[in-house]
Structure 1
Amino acid sequence: MIKHFFLNGNSKNEISPAVCGINQCQSGDVFPRHYIQRHVLHYVTKGSGKYLLNDEEYQIKKGDIFVSHKGDFTSYISDEKQPLTYIWVSFDCAEPFAKLLSQKVFSAFWAAPLFNKMYDCRNSFTPEWVMCATLYDFFTELATHQSDTTIFEEDYVTRACHYIESSYAEQIKIEEIAATLGISRNQFFKVFKQKTGISPQEYLISYRLKKATELLQKKQYPQKEIASRIGYTDVYTFSRMFKKKYGLSPGKYSKQN
């Protein structure tokens, strides 16, 4: 069930709200694919589901904000067991505010009181003013949390690199590293690549092969043992990955160095 109200925002303002509402989905509800004409913030107050944005799919749950921008195509699917409920607001805004909404889905339990206030302002004598003020408060809080998040993300990457560098010889999986950090695999992959320019798997492979060059230069170990020492159970996979990175086989590398 969708309930919403319209606002007469001033297009000259840096933030101009247009519509606010709440969608209380039923089990398995599908909100059809549609074109977005303004920026839209959605805050999940209950349940879970899927958010389909252009060609990407995101899992959404209570406490998440999911974002749409003008020109996007979106649809939503409510979970069968935990039906989705979310408050949403559409608005126009100046570029600096839009840039703060680069993340498509993010956890934001701190925003619950602000979204409740946005929806409750329908009963106010001046809903546009209340909505504008609350959106300003939201963006102020968002900027603060993004600054804090950057610090946490850098810590995640540092810890992940240390984990790889101390455990590269073991049969470690990216899911295990993410679990050690206490974040999802998708979030870990995104943060790591954003900060380093490569995926966690690429970093692991690169570090293993770097260690292989050090062992090859010592000329003390057969290739099978080197492969085992750096975390490969198959010497042929090791040889193939090594040649792909360095342009020559481990044997030739050893002879030339």
Structure 2
Amino acid sequence: MSNVLFSIFPNERFVDLGLYQYGWEQCEPLHSYGPYARNHYLFHYVISGAGTLMSTDSKGMTNTYHIKSGEGFLIHPKQVNTYSADRDHPWEYTWLEFDGLRVKEALELAGLTMDNPVYHSNARDLSLELKNEMLYIANHSDQSPFHLIGHLYLFLDYLTRSSSSRRMMRGGKLQDFYIREATSFIEQNFQNDISVEDIAAFCNLNRSYFGKIFRDAVGKSPQEFLISYRMTKAAELLKLTELTIKDIGNAVGYPSQLHFSRAFKKTYGISPREWRSENKIASGTGKGKMG
């Protein structure tokens, strides 16, 4: 029997919560990976054994963490990290690489940050379910994308509920309603010429107050969220369609191709044309970065 399972998720059309690659491995003594920086969030759960994580914090300083069975660790996008198995008791772990517009909120609720990347459980039964969901995904790559995304949602639920660093939900129920209204308005109107004032007006709120509660809840300003949503949709269209760059810009609210290309490059670091050439859809499986 192989000591590793590794799969690449074949579908990137999921905006709120998406899966990229996932797997399981029984590592050899001192097996290491890195230094490396991911493009998405990567979570490992240690089933048995132990190992070491070295990762940069929010100030760019490298910290070392010793992690054992029943614990886990989260790697953030662009965070430089190296992790290695113990010499005498090498770890067995399962991992998921994921991202999406709703992920930051869930991870903040779990209390997992660049400065606090280690997962400790406050409920053994919930952490067991967390492990089971991760292993289910790792062992069922033949299931449909919707099926696997459903289990990814369950994983996030167990992660947020079982983390000992869990933060309590904010109490403002009315504010939560406004945020849902605002994000729904953006999702339905991102292709139109809308502004932050339009979103605030839809919610019947003063712009400055709306901006504050939105940033507090989502971690981005309304304008940043709108741009992020548009660019995510643009990337989908670049990957999945043969539309021209100009038509895609129009489809996500940028009548000017120049303005669209500038916004896209600011988000992804390369032009829409370059991104399309590098991200053509692969069928089923392919090469990728393992856990």
Q: How would you bin the TM-score normalised by the shorter chain?
A: 0.5 to 0.7
- Do the aligned partners of residues 80 and 17 (structure 1) sit closer, same or farther apart at CA in structure 2, a change above 3 Å counting? same
Provide the residue aligned with 2:106 in structure 1: 97
Provide the residue aligned with 1:8 in structure 2: 10
- What is the Cα deviation at residue 33 of structure 1? 0.8
- Do the aligned partners of residues 53 and 33 (structure 1) sit closer, same or farther apart at CA in structure 2, a change above 3 Å counting? same
Amino acid at match of 1:121: H
The reply on whether 1:61 has 2:100 as its aligned counterpart is: no
Provide the residue aligned with 2:153 in structure 1: 136
Structure 1 stretch displaced more, 23-32 or 45-54: 23-32
Amino acid at match of 1:18: Y
Larger Rg: 1
Provide the residue aligned with 1:35 in structure 2: 37
CA contact (8 A) 1:121 1:130 kept: no
Using the alignment, how far apart are the partners of 1:66 and 1:118 within structure 2?
A: 18
Provide the residue aligned with 2:120 in structure 1: 107
CA contact (8 A) 2:106 2:160 kept: no
Provide the residue aligned with 2:142 in structure 1: 123
Equivalent residues in 2 for 1:181-196, closer than 5 Å: none
Provide the residue aligned with 1:237 in structure 2: none
In the TM superposition, what whole-angstrom CA distance separates every residue of 1:52-93 from its partner, at most 9, and x where no partner exists?
112011111111111011111111111111111111111112
Identity %: 19
- Do the aligned partners of residues 79 and 5 (structure 1) sit closer, same or farther apart at CA in structure 2, a change above 3 Å counting? same
CA contact (8 A) 1:6 1:19 kept: yes
Using the alignment, how far apart are the partners of 1:69 and 1:148 within structure 2?
A: 17
Equivalent residues in 2 for 1:240-251, closer than 5 Å: none
SS at match of 1:53: strand
SS at match of 1:139: helix
- What is the Cα deviation at residue 12 of structure 1? 4.2
The reply on whether 1:75 has 2:82 as its aligned counterpart is: yes
Amino acid at match of 2:158: E
Provide the residue aligned with 2:180 in structure 1: none
Using the alignment, how far apart are the partners of 1:31 and 1:37 within structure 2?
A: 16
Judging by fraction of residues, say which structure has more helix: 1
Using the alignment, how far apart are the partners of 1:33 and 1:148 within structure 2?
A: 26
CA contact (8 A) 1:11 1:92 kept: no
- Do the aligned partners of residues 149 and 37 (structure 1) sit closer, same or farther apart at CA in structure 2, a change above 3 Å counting? closer
SS at match of 1:123: coil
Amino acid at match of 2:120: S
CA contact (8 A) 1:47 1:79 kept: yes
In the TM superposition, what whole-angstrom CA distance separates every residue of 1:29-53 from its partner, at most 9, and x where no partner exists?
2223111111111111121010111
SS at match of 1:122: coil
